């Protein structure tokens, strides 16, 4: 019996907002950081190798590698914090759209997996099931990894996003 905690240190999921993904609204290349991400990444500036995956409406997978920077945009302001997860240019992320599902997972090897699924795809529902996030919004939802047992229904989903079972 395997649990998601064997493969991830922390996972959060959300629906993408326009300002995070639409290059016409913002070219900051940043996902907003909140308490949920602080619980995963901490408070210090960190750099991560990342794998970005986008799954389109038909289930076709596009992937790319890049870097993520977790940082406090107000680190020199003693009265405010504003954490963000900056991502490098990625062909996979270029396909993402507002209202798509995004799952961000810090892997056991300190790399980060960013999976974005088209909101109308069957795979979007599979990701929600895998990570136990039924009611999702533009606010991050933390995934309880300790209690999430991997079922036979989850294996194909994990394999598609590049997680080989131990």
Residue position matching structure tokens 């598609």? 160
Q: Of the ranges 24-28, 58-62, 81-85, which one carries the lowest mean pLDDT score?
A: 24-28
pTM over 0.85? The answer is: yes
Taking only the tens place, the pLDDT of each residue in 83-127 is: 888 888 888 888 999 999 999 999 999 999 999 999 999 999 999
pLDDT band of residue 136 (cuts 50, 70, 90) is confident
Hey, what domains does the chain have and what are their CATH numbers? Answer: 4-160 (2.40.330.10)
Of the candidates 86, 139, 93, 144, the residue with the CA atom closest to the CA atom of residue 117: 93
């Amino acid at each position: 019996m395997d649990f998601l905690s064997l493969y991830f240190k922390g996972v959060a999921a959300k629906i993408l907002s326009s300002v995070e993904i639409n290059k016409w609204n913002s070219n900051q290349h940043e996902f907003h950081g909140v308490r949920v991400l602080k619980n995963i990444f901490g408070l210090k500036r960190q750099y991560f190798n990342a794998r970005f995956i986008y799954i389109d409406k038909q289930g076709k997978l596009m992937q790319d590698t890049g870097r993520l920077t977790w940082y406090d945009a107000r680190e020199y302001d003693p009265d405010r914090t504003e954490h963000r997860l900056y991502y490098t240019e990625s062909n996979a992320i270029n396909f993402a759209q507002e209202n798509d599902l995004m799952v961000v997972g810090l892997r056991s090897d300190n790399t980060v997996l960013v999976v974005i699924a088209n909101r109308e795809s069957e795979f979007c529902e599979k990701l929600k099931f895998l990570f136990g996030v039924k009611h999702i919004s533009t606010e991050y939802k933390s995934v309880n990894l300790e209690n999430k047992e991997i079922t036979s229904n989850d294996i194909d989903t994990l394999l598609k996003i590049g997680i080989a079972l131990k």
